[in-house]
Structure 1
Amino acid sequence: MLLQVPAGVQDTVHQAVAAATQTLQQPVAEVSDSYFTLLLKGGWILLPLFLLFALSIYVIIERMVVLKTLGKTDSVWFARIKDLVYEYKFDSAEKFCQASTNSYSKVVEAGLGQVNNDIEAVQTAMQGEATQQIARMEKHLNWLSITASVAPMLGFLGTIFGVINIFFRIAQTNEFEISTIADGLYQKMVSSAVGLFVGIVAYAGYYLLNGRIDTIVANMDKYSNDLVNMLRGGGKK
């Protein structure tokens, strides 16, 4: 004999199954927002974060182009400088440097301009020009450093404002629902995520560009030392 289930229990079970089926059949788009919509829910704090992101991208690209020009060199360039110095054609070597746009040529040119003085004057001139070239290469990099530090804090500030707003509404309405808290909180966490992303981009760009600058500076030192050694040798190979 089969067990008879009361009609009321059957109705309850059928309703539960129908509700579960309806929930499973809902499209994913109804449960989760698109990335763009999610970003818009981050609040007003995203505006300065987007501005900092745009500024960081601009500085990174602009500095990459500048460093590519200032750090461009080849072995033929300095080989020609050597030949002219060994032949005591310092004016020709200086003019040859003037025709180049990289930082190495500017430093060597500064040293060649002091060949009629002692070696110390040549070194001082090259050190002074190297300092100017480094300042030129590091231009605008401070914005990347600032963005890397400020962007995550701005994002966290946006999240804090969102949490304050959530609990303020709870205090005003006396309604405490987990769904309301979770919905508002995940939206405000977007600002923290965006702030971290912007900070990471700026941080990575800052150190990558500084690494490139260090390489250029090392090459400047090499060419400067080579010129000093040639002059100390009296222009003899």
Structure 2
Amino acid sequence: MENIFAAGGWLMFPLALCSVAVIAISVERFWTLNPNKIAPRNQLGDVWTQIQNNNMSSEQLKELRKSSPLGRVLAAGLTNSRHGREVMKDSIQEAASQVIHELERYLAILGTIAAVTPLLGLLGTVLGMIKVFAAIMLEGTGNAGVLAGGISQALLTTAAGLGVAIPAMISHRFFLRRLDALVITMEQDAVKLVDVLHNDRRVDLKQA
């Protein structure tokens, strides 16, 4: 393994760092973007039960805000529910924007790695071929060892770049899709709460 790493040249070091970053970010995002932690299924029903029982005090709102990202969005709406539908919607949208920004953390880095690592591999290919042609100019085609070193550098960096980029791209797309699903869930629950509090429609929030 060390020989392969050395044969790939100095570009193998940033590629190795990128691979470690992909693994670390993927594990962290998989743990963080857990649907049960972001938007608990029964949270909206529990909130509605507390509202009907007149148990939604300021302390309950603080606990709701800390319980989950969905709870944070719902708490923002409930805090401003007495000021009318539009004010409530605006406060929900503002809180949701902050929550989404936090949930998107590190995904841009993952996408950047997926885009950059193939280019690093291509750069290694170019440098390897330059090494090959320089050896041909100096020594001709008789020194197979020098030629093989340049070719191996070209192939190894290309393979390493693709080997990092492919998992990074898959991971990036996976977490973006999961984030989209979570955002839709939070939006639907927030809209249901707004509509029920302002009597725009009948919704059984306990079954939502």
Q: TM-score range by the shorter chain?
A: 0.7 to 0.9
Is 1:97–2:97 an aligned residue pair? no
Q: Deviations over 1:144-188 (max 9, x none)?
A: 111111100001101110110111011112x21494535531343
Shift of residue 86, structure 1, vs aligned partner: 3.0
- Alignment root-mean-square deviation, CA: 2.3
Report the equivalent of 2:113: 147
Query: Matches of 1:85 and 1:229 in 2, distance apart?
Result: 14
Q: Residue 88 of structure 1: CA displacement?
A: 4.6
Aligned to 2:141: 176
Aligned-partner residue type, residue 162 of structure 1: G
Q: Which amino acid aligns with 2:141?
A: F
**Counterpart-to-counterpart distance in 2, 1:139 and 1:58:** 13
Report Cα offsets for 1:173-226 as digits up to 9, x if no partner. Answer: 2x2149453553134310000001111121111111111111110111111011
Structure 1: gaps (5+ residues): 1-34
Aligned equivalents of 2:154, 2:89: Cα separation in 1:
57
Equivalent residues in 2 for 1:57-76, closer than 5 Å: 57-68=23-34, 70-75=37-42
Distance verdict in 2 for CA 1:187–1:98, change over 3 Å:
closer
Distance 2:148 2:65 in 1: 65
SS of the residue 2:105 aligns to: coil
| 1:229 matches 2:195 | yes
Q: In the alignment, is the contact (CA less than 8 A) between 2:33 and 2:103 conserved in 1?
A: yes
| TM-score relative to the length of structure 1 | 0.76
Q: What secondary structure does 1:116 align onto?
A: helix
Counterparts of 1:154 and 1:46, CA distance in 2: 9
The residue aligned with 1:189 is 155
The TM-score normalised by the length of structure 2 is 0.86
Q: Distance in 2 between matches of 1:144 and 1:48?
A: 14
Tell me: CA distance 1:63–1:235, structure 2 relative to 1, closer, same or farther (3 Å).
Answer: same
Q: Which runs of 5+ in 2 are unaligned?
A: none
Query: Matched residues, percent identical?
Result: 26
**Which structure 1 residue ranges, 4+ long, deviate > 6 Å from structure 2?**
234-237
Structure 1 counterpart SS, 2:83: coil
